[in-house]
Chains A and B, each alone.
Chain A
Amino acid sequence: AQSVTQPDIHITVSEGASLELRCNYSYGATPYLFWYVQSPGQGLQLLLKYFSGDTLVQGIKGFEAEFKRSQSSFNLRKPSVHWSDAAEYFCAVSGYNQGGKLIFGQGTELSVKP
C-alpha cells in the first residue's frame, strides 16, 4: 500500500542550527514527492517538489530536499533555522496519472528555540 511516514512527530531546534526532517515513502511506481509547510492557522504552502532529474532539489525559504531511491527517503533540510520556520511540515507523495491524489505523512511539528 502507498504510504508516507514521518518518524518525528515533534522536533525542537535552536535558532541558527541546522535542520533535517525525515520522510520515508512506500510507493509502487515512480513517486512524485512534495514538502508542504503549514504555519499556525494557515493553509498549506508548497516548499519544494521532486519529479525527476537532479535528486537534490531547492525550494523556497532556503529549504532543500534530497531524493534517495535506495532508501525510499525524501528528507528536508535547512542549514540555519529562523524563528519564523516554526510550523508543521508535511511530506506527501503522488504519481503519474494518479489524478492529483496526494498521500500525506502524519506531519512533523517544528519548534524553534531562541
Chain B
Amino acid sequence: EAQVTQNPRYLITVTGKKLTVTCSQNMNHEYMSWYRQDPGLGLRQIYYSMNVEVTDKGDVPEGYKVSRKEKRNFPLILESPSPNQTSLYFCASSTGLENNEQFFGPGTRLTVL
C-alpha cells in the first residue's frame, strides 16, 4: 500500500530536549515536505526536499532542521524545542512534477512543556 508514515504519532516533551520525528514514504517520490498545522493558520511549510541531499527552507523554518540521506526518509529534527513549537506536524511527499498532488502522513501531535 502506498503511504507516508510518521513516528511518533503523539509526543509530549520538555523545553530543550532534542527530538526527531521520522517520516518515510514507499512511493519512490522525489519531493518531500514538512508542514505544521495551527488553528486559524492552516498548514505552513517548514522545510522541503527536492531529492537526496537537496533541502531548502519553507515559510517557517526557524527552530527546525531536516536531512535527506535516503530518498524514502525525511526526518524533522528539533534541536531545542520550545513551547511555541507545540503543533500538529505533517509530512508529505509527491513526484514534484507538474502533477503536484501531495500525499500526507497521518500527523504527529507534539506538545512541548
Q: Would you give the 0/1 interface string for B4-45, flagging 1 where the beta carbon is closer than 8 Å to chain A?
A: 100000000000000000000000000101010000111111
Q: Would you give the 0/1 interface string for A80-114, flagging 1 where the beta carbon is closer than 8 Å to chain B?
A: 00000000001010101011111011110000000
Contacts of B74 in A (CB 8 A): none
User: Once the chains bind, are A51 and B106 in contact (CB under 8 Å)?
Assistant: no
Smallest distance from the beta carbon of B25 to chain A beta carbons, Å?
13
Smallest distance from the beta carbon of A4 to chain B beta carbons, Å?
8
- Which stretch in A12-20, A42-50, A62-70, A71-79 binds the other chain? A42-50
Q: How many residues of A contact B (CB 8 A)?
A: 26
Smallest distance from the beta carbon of A96 to chain B beta carbons, Å?
6
Contacts of B35 in A (CB 8 A): 104
A-B contact sample (14 more), CB < 8 A, given A99-B48, A100-B102:
A9-B40, A42-B106, A43-B4, A43-B107, A49-B101, A92-B43, A99-B31, A100-B48, A101-B33, A101-B45, A101-B48, A102-B92, A106-B40, A106-B42
24 residue pairs from A and B, CB less than 8 Å apart: A42-B107, A43-B90, A43-B105, A43-B106, A44-B43, A44-B104, A45-B104, A49-B101, A51-B99, A90-B42, A94-B100, A99-B48, A99-B50, A99-B96, A100-B95, A100-B100, A100-B102, A101-B58, A102-B45, A102-B102, A104-B35, A104-B43, A104-B44, A105-B42
Which A positions have Cβ atoms within 8 angstroms of B? 4, 6, 9, 32, 34, 36, 42-46, 49, 51, 90, 92, 94, 96, 98-102, 104-107
